[in-house]
Chains A and B, each alone.
Chain A
Amino acid sequence: VHLVESGGGLVKPGRSLRLSCSTSGFTFGDHGMSWFRQAPGKGLEWVGFIRSQGYGATTYYAASLEGRFVISRDDFKGIAYLQMNSLKIEDTALYYCSSGESGDPFWLDYWGQGTLVTVSS
């Protein structure tokens, strides 16, 4: 299983950015997908999760994001997306996508290498 994040970069506060998580080596449509982030020198923080289409592609998000982020998925391409709106300086972090064999994220077997998002004026 291989997960590769892309789309990170330098963005100004208030702007938007979309991250992608390209996958291979497993049946993407059967798996939920999660996004996490890690600010420099800090711990892991959950961003959100999207269930498989078989479970309605239901999404869940960290309350701290205040509805600014949206997760979606394209099962034909095997890609999960993280749309980040109204970005703040405190959103600066390394963003990881992840998935696992437990359906909901009781545990996460697979992790990408991360993509860095820097929010600065």
Chain B
Amino acid sequence: SYELTQPPSVSVSPGQTARITCSGDSLPHIFCSWYQQRPGQSPVLVIYQETKRPSGIPERFSGSISGNTVTLTISGAQALDEADYYCQVWDNNTVIFGGGTRLTVL
């Protein structure tokens, strides 16, 4: 079955840039979105269509795509950005999530 691959964890110091990747064979051809999930909270959409940011999401969140890898970049990461991040696609009438990346900011 189709899979999206994310690193299990990423760690940065406050103020540094965090980059979280998501790889999948079909990614150049389908929309990919990113969600932030803080502990005990519901997911929040932070990026859609690889590079677009919903209203209310800080500008430090950005997305990019290169080949079959999409990247979520958090510039100047803050303690409140500590969360799990998931990439997601809708492909062949199925929603697929990456396994999630735990971002630690310390």
Contact = CB atoms under 8 A, between A and B. Distances in A.
Interface stretch (B16-24, B65-73, B75-83, B92-100): B92-100
A contact patch SS:
loop
B contact patch SS:
strand
Interface stretch (A8-16, A66-74, A77-85, A107-115): A107-115
B45 A34 contact: no
B31 A106 contact: yes
Given A43-B100, A114-B42, A107 B48 contact: yes
B64 to A, nearest CB: 16
A109 B93 contact: no
Interface of B: 1, 31, 33, 35, 37, 42-45, 48-49, 54, 84, 86, 88-90, 93-100
Q: Which 9 A-B pairs have the closest CB atoms?
A: A46-B95, A107-B48, A107-B33, A111-B42, A43-B100, A106-B31, A60-B93, A44-B97, A106-B90
